[in-house]
Structure 1
Amino acid sequence: MNSKLSFYLRIMAGLFGLFFGAGCSPTSESIKMKGSDTEVNLAVNLAEKFTKQDPDFNIAISGGGSGLGITSLLNGQADIANSSRPLSAEEIEQFKQKKIAIRTVVFAEDATAFIVHRDLPLEEIDLETLGKVLSGQLRNWSEITSVNLPINIYGRQSSSGTHSFVKKKLAIEFSTAAKEMTGNAQIIEGVKADRSGIGYVGAGYVAHDPHAVQYIKILKIKETKAGAAVSPVDPGAIKQRLYFFQRPLYQYVLSSSWEKVAPFIQFEKGAIGQSVIEAHGYYLIN
């Protein structure tokens, strides 16, 4: 898949949903998958490979955030919810109240990357400083770099699993001035065009986009000011669990849909599915 087509598929998946497979027929299986924008590009490519192998399957995919995917399960509008975070206590209770049984699949691992414009003189950042930047305590890059520019934050809306993940890991509230973008692609585009921008995206998402990395930098993260700087696109560091913002990627499946979904889950865990996961910058479960 060329880069232009890949970008088009990511945008279409996030905004309108994509449909893979043969036309609906009495013998075909239809799966609806919604949720995490971090996972949507990977899901698109897995579905594309899977439906070539088994054309009797139809897989409709859309993004919109982990929260949207989970809500879609609760409302009977999806078979699979892609999520970059675990279920909240409130969501677990909602499933219990509605007597909806689900199965949890952990199919890959991702690392959240923090990106800045390529011209910003910053290569690494420690957790304390990063928290101050994203919470709005630091408002100008001159406080930590040699340039005098106001800090512009490109983030996600509260329904995003990545938004929730970063907030919890840093124990912060995001600055009210942060721009709420609809997905990874929009954050990347924002930072590419803004010398003072900083944003957070799935490392697998940005690492698989060679065009994006010409205009942005992925910051290395230090847990303390004196600590070692670790990159989210370093497979060795991820395997050793050295990166602070690495996390599992979930798929929540309706138990009532499990029988028809199982072949796709098995494909993800098979040789072809695993190679697709690695090829797109994500990590296999250790």
Structure 2
Amino acid sequence: MKEVSVPGETVYVEVEKELSVIIEIDGSSTVFPISVAAAEIFRETHPDVQIPVGISGTGGGMKRFGVGETAISNASRPMKDKEAAVAAENGVEFTELTVAFDGLSVVVNKSNDWVECLTTEELNLIWDEGSTVNNWNQVRSSFPDVEMNLYGPGTDSGTFDYFTDEINGDEGRTRSDYTPSEDDNVLVMGVAGDKGSMGYFGYAYYVENKDKIKVVEIDGGTGCIAPSEATINDSSYSPLSRPLFIYVNNGELARPEVYEFVKFYLENGSMLAGEGGYVGLPQSMYDDGLAAIAKYK
């Protein structure tokens, strides 16, 4: 209520508060850099739209998304059936959109001068449930007697789900005596500060920290291959290449600002993937996404 002076009387006029428009995003730390880039660039022309982007891991983000707490959920794996069931129970209808390709990167300390490549069998030996490997010379006799310390995503992470499925044969199957975090920057710091370390996370975090950590080539049966834009794009970096997603609440898509943001995200998908440190999709895949959201315009 605002007081307005009028000769001979005082008049009170209702004044509508200026509200900030918010598009809340949460979920995968892997997809985080892409969504942050999208939010920052979008806000250059839409400064009244607030777009907070959180990191709670793919699973943590899905928990919030499924009960309608967020408009968009970043995900480094597809939504699970049980997560879709929770969304359905809460009346949350959604659209899955692929936004980039990633090459999950296995890394070691920069001073590690003995390992250049590991086979998927050796990764399984190290990371499988019940593994007692705690020294590099247990992986290969030619490796030195150096204590091995492991760093990896927590159980709410889509990266954790993907890695354990591909390397250990079952999603969630892993040794438990490693240092976990949903924040990949924490894992980077752990590996960078520990000579005997090994960790894994999304390609963007390796690219951003090449001066601190060293990537390990992976032999999935066809020879040693390092993650790069080319090997991720042609899937020769196997089996650790994967798509990245955002999930959008269809009810939120009916809001003009959400629709415009998601449209911007897809129209600039390749550029945003590059800004985030990942590999863009073929344009036809972004066009498919734009067609999927067009009915909410």
Question: By the TM > 0.5 criterion, same fold?
Answer: yes
In the alignment, the residues of structure 2 paired with residue 267 and residue 97 of structure 1 have an alpha-carbon distance, to the nearest angstrom, of 30
Q: CA deviation at 1:182?
A: 3.2
Deviates more, 1:172-181 or 1:101-110: 172-181
Q: CA deviation at 1:137?
A: 4.5
In the alignment, the residues of structure 1 paired with residue 244 and residue 219 of structure 2 have an alpha-carbon distance, to the nearest angstrom, of 23
Q: CA deviation at 1:139?
A: 2.5
The one-letter code of the counterpart of 2:100 is A
Is the CA contact 2:68–2:90 (under 8 Å) kept in the aligned structure 1?
no
Deviations 1:185-215 (A, max 9, x none): 01110000111111011102221x2xx3222
Q: Could you say what secondary structure the match of 2:23 adopts?
A: strand
Residue equivalent to 1:181: 181
Deviates more, 1:132-141 or 1:161-170: 132-141
In the alignment, the residues of structure 1 paired with residue 175 and residue 267 of structure 2 have an alpha-carbon distance, to the nearest angstrom, of 42
Equivalent position to 1:278, from 265, 271, 274:
274
Is the CA contact 2:229–2:278 (under 8 Å) kept in the aligned structure 1?
no
Q: CA deviation at 1:276?
A: 2.9
Residue equivalent to 1:254: 249
Deviates more, 1:274-283 or 1:42-51: 274-283
Within 5 Å, which residues of 2 pair with 1:30-109?
A: 30-109=22-101
Residue equivalent to 2:224: 229
Residue equivalent to 1:214: 211
The 3 A distance-change label for structure 1 pair 175 and 103 is same
The one-letter code of the counterpart of 1:166 is F
Q: CA deviation at 1:124?
A: 0.9
Deviations 1:141-188 (A, max 9, x none): 013243111221101211111111101111152212111123110111
Unaligned runs of 5+ in 2: 1-16, 283-297
Q: Could you say what secondary structure the match of 1:195 adopts?
A: coil
Deviations 1:89-148 (A, max 9, x none): 211222222232111111111111000012221111110001111122533101324311
Q: CA deviation at 1:42?
A: 2.3
Is the CA contact 2:73–2:248 (under 8 Å) kept in the aligned structure 1?
yes
In the alignment, the residues of structure 2 paired with residue 99 and residue 206 of structure 1 have an alpha-carbon distance, to the nearest angstrom, of 38
Is the CA contact 2:33–2:277 (under 8 Å) kept in the aligned structure 1?
no
Q: Could you say what secondary structure the match of 2:156 adopts?
A: coil
Is the CA contact 1:108–1:277 (under 8 Å) kept in the aligned structure 2?
yes
Residue equivalent to 1:239: 233
In the alignment, the residues of structure 2 paired with residue 269 and residue 25 of structure 1 have an alpha-carbon distance, to the nearest angstrom, of 29
Is the CA contact 1:205–1:280 (under 8 Å) kept in the aligned structure 2?
no
The one-letter code of the counterpart of 1:187 is L
Is the CA contact 1:80–1:251 (under 8 Å) kept in the aligned structure 2?
yes
Equivalent position to 2:18, from 25, 29, 32:
25
The one-letter code of the counterpart of 2:270 is Q
In the alignment, the residues of structure 2 paired with residue 248 and residue 29 of structure 1 have an alpha-carbon distance, to the nearest angstrom, of 30
The one-letter code of the counterpart of 1:111 is G
Q: CA deviation at 1:55?
A: 1.8
The 3 A distance-change label for structure 1 pair 279 and 154 is same
In the alignment, the residues of structure 1 paired with residue 68 and residue 267 of structure 2 have an alpha-carbon distance, to the nearest angstrom, of 28
Residue equivalent to 1:267: 264
Unaligned runs of 5+ in 1: 1-23
Q: CA deviation at 1:285?
A: 1.5
Using structure 1 for the length normalisation, give the TM-score: 0.84
Residue equivalent to 2:202: 202
Kindly name which structure, 1 or 2, has the bigger radius of gyration based on alpha carbons: 2
The one-letter code of the counterpart of 2:44 is K
